[in-house]
Amino acid sequence: MKKTALLQALIFGMVMAFIPGAYAQDQEEINFVTNFFNQLQPKSIAENTEYCGYFGIDENDNFVATTPAKGDTDSCLANDPPENLDLFATYHTHGAYMFDADSELPSLNDLEADIDEYLDGYVATPGGRIWFNSVDRETAIMLCGRNCTVSDSEYVADTEYPVNNSYTVQQLRQRESE
């Protein structure tokens, strides 16, 4: 084997070795987020109140969530996170199903606030959807659809305003102006 070919084979092997790890980490993060929302959603729905906070990695490399702050029916202000936490996202819930609220997706304000804070965001909806607000893409992406996490048993899908799989800032602004 030529030297360059050997080097290429080595590099290829290293790259391949890294890919499963990266994927496993993402899946671990999603599992953590889903389990966390499963515990928080029943309270948020029963009280029709948003809860919010931060997700981070602690000094032992574990996923942790800060204690949820209690908001109201359509807003929530998180408590300052501890300084030793390596934050990777904000989180909030959307309370219970309300006929006149467009709460199955992040609001324009939700996405803009995450972009301003330069932290990705996770949002759980009354229908049990989980959204990811990506700062890099400036886009809200549905990670997981209806009943992905605990949902409101009163939830009724709004057939006039179906929910897409992703929204840019501009698309959210457009939807909210309709």
Closest CB 67 distance from Zn ion, rounded Å: 19
Q: Is residue 114 part of the contact set for Zn ion (CB under 5 A)?
A: no
Nearer to Zn ion, 57 or 166 (CB): 166
Closest CB 110 distance from Zn ion, rounded Å: 4
Closest CB 84 distance from Zn ion, rounded Å: 27
Closest CB 94 distance from Zn ion, rounded Å: 6
Taking CB under 5 A as the binding criterion, the range among 8-16, 108-116, 124-132, 134-142 that sits at the site for Zn ion is 108-116
Nearer to Zn ion, 110 or 114 (CB): 110
End-to-end CA distance of the chain: 64
Residue 61 — left, alpha, or beta (φ > 0 → left; ψ -120 to 50 → alpha)?
A: left
Buried b (16+ CB within 10 A) or exposed e, 80-105: ebeeebebebbbbbbbbbbeeeebbb
Position among 33, 41, 49, 110 found at the interface with Zn ion (CB under 5 A): 110
Closest CB 44 distance from Zn ion, rounded Å: 11
Taking CB under 5 A as the binding criterion, the range among 4-12, 79-87, 110-118, 159-167 that sits at the site for Zn ion is 110-118
CA gap 140, 144 in Å, rounded = 12
Q: Where are the beta strands (DSSP E) in the chain?
A: 51-57, 63-65, 69-70, 86-93, 120-124, 130-134, 139-144, 166-168
Which residues make up the interface to Zn ion (CB under 5 A)? 107, 110
